Structure 1
Amino acid sequence: MEENPRPFVQINNLPKIGDFCFTLNPKERHRITAFNQTTATVKEPRISQYEYLDQEKTSHLLNLKTSKEIYDFIASTLSNHSKGRPKDLFIQLISDVTKFCQSRAFDVEKTATVLSQFYQTHLYFTSGLQVSAEKIYIYFKELMMCHSLPFPPAQKKVFSVKEAKDILEFFCKIYLRNLPLVKYLCMPNFALYLNYEIPPRPVLHSTDKKKGKKGTDRSDKKKAKKSAK
């Protein structure tokens, strides 16, 4: 072992281990990102056809032809949101959903409903770290049921059975499969740093010399006995 072992490596500007634990002081909790709650309002599944875009904007969006026009128009509806990866991902998501609606020849009502379902589901998933893939699927499916069954006032038949199935499969393909990526890009990520350095292995002294001495003494005694005989 070294007489003066090297000091542990100290990384500056990192939170202490106690910062990752629950604190009862509300004034201190805001310093820890994991404790901060989103300001987005998560609504229960219900009829919400124009939750994201109104009828006029949805009609204009459906008439756009190129991907750039669709992307730029969606970005213009989010002018109040700060720039960054979460915003870029959401714009791309709504762009893909719009192209899906255009490929199915959906009218304004159906397109607005699909956009609202993806919009509300994305808000729900990014509302907290505890939202699982199962909860997301159930939430979107319940929204789908609200717009697929003829039971007013809680439900309204906007989509046929086949259309509802196609939308649900599209959701699983484009969003549910990519939840890890969505979570990485849109939500805070954490890492735990331990200021600990593994000490060096102790140096073991060899015992070959002692064994060699003992072996030499025994051979000398045997030779002395033979000479005595």
Structure 2
Amino acid sequence: MEIKMKMPQEPKAKVMLWTDINYHEMEKLNKIQSIPALQTALSEVLRIDHSGPKQGILLNLYVQTMLYCREMHFKPVQTSTLLSIIISIHKVNVETVFNNIANCHTYCKELLLCHSVRRPPCSIDLYKLEEVTSIYEYIYNSYMRHYRLYKSVFTPQIKLDLSVTYLDTLDQNVAATSESNDETQDLCLSPTKSEDGLQGKCLFHTSN
């Protein structure tokens, strides 16, 4: 199976208000207290099939993010935006099989900056400075520290089958073989006189 390998890209950060979860969906999610029920609700809202192991890993990440937002007493718009930030970072991570942790880290910081400084329409002041600091620590501990784990689970494994041919050596072998064949075909002693004065005969001959 041939796999097209995409090279790492440098994504551009943008404001993510209500990108993946709208206001009404967020209100319903905040009313759910049971973790299994929250997983089911998130899988429906984000359209994730939670029957597979990979999807289960993502749902666990999103549920833990919801619980973190509740501990921080975030507003619905803040919780929805943080979930979209984490979803976006994960997409950047798994879009390529190559190591792009530097791009993910830079993208994470740019996304937080977009939601902590008021410069419409490029950025808004959704989070306070202390909240940004806490969010960065949370993303680092919950996702960035496990970057390679998410990469290995959600991207195909690439194996390199390498064979090397040295052209110089190959040319030398071909030339040596050609010279050897020429010498074999021409290897016939010229007539000489023996000690008794008789003319010698050709000792070697080639057969067609």
Deviation readout 1:23-69 (Å, 9 max, x if unpaired): xxxxxxxx312x155xxxx9621111111111111121122112111
The residue number in structure 2 matching 1:72 is: 40
Q: Which ranges in structure 2 are unaligned for 5 or more consecutive residues?
A: 163-208
SS in 2 for 1:150: strand
- 2:42/2:59 contact within 8 Å kept: yes
What is the 5 A alignment of 1:15-164? 31-33=1-3, 35=4, 44-79=12-47, 84-164=52-132
Max radius of gyration: which structure?
2
SS at match of 1:48: coil
Q: How far 1:81 sits from its partner (Å)?
A: 5.2
Q: What fraction of aligned residue pairs are identical, expressed as a percent?
A: 19
> Is residue 43–residue 50 contact of structure 2 (8 Å, CA) maintained in 1?
no
The aligned amino acid for 2:100 is S
**Number of residue pairs the alignment of both structures matches:** 161
Whether the 8 Å contact between 2:48 and 2:55 is mirrored in structure 1 is: no
C-alpha change, 1:57 and 1:65, in structure 2 (3 Å) is same
Q: Judge conservation of contact 2:18–2:81 (CA < 8 Å) in 1.
A: yes
Aligned Cα root-mean-square deviation (Å): 2.4
Kept after mapping to 2: 8 A contact 1:148/1:159: yes
| Cα distance in 2 for residues equivalent to 1:58 and 1:144 | 20
d(CA) in 2 for partners of 1:75, 1:94: 10
Q: In structure 1, how many angstroms separate the alpha carbons of the residues matched to 2:161 and 2:5? A: 21
Greater length-normalized contact order (CA 8 Å, ≥ 6 residues apart): 1
**C-alpha contact 2:94 2:155 (8 A) present in aligned 1:** yes
Is contact 2:26-2:76 (8 Å) kept? Answer: yes
The superposition leaves residues 78-110 of structure 1 with CA deviations (integer Å, 9 ceiling, x where unpaired) of 446595333222111111111100111111111
| Distance across 1 between alignment mates of 2:50 and 2:33 | 27
Residues in 2 aligned to 1:192 and 1:139: alpha-carbon distance in whole angstroms? 29
* Pair 1:99–1:138, CA change in 2 (3 A): same
Gapped regions of structure 1 (runs ≥ 5): 1-30, 195-229
What's the counterpart of residue 187 of structure 1? 155
- Would the alpha carbon gap of residues 81 and 68 (structure 1) be closer, same or farther in structure 2, given more than 3 Å must change? closer
TM-score by length of 2: 0.70
In structure 1, distance between residues paired with 2:50 and 2:36? 20
Query: Could you tell me how far apart the structure 2 residues matched to 1:77 and 1:112 are?
Result: 12
Aligned twin of 1:25 = none
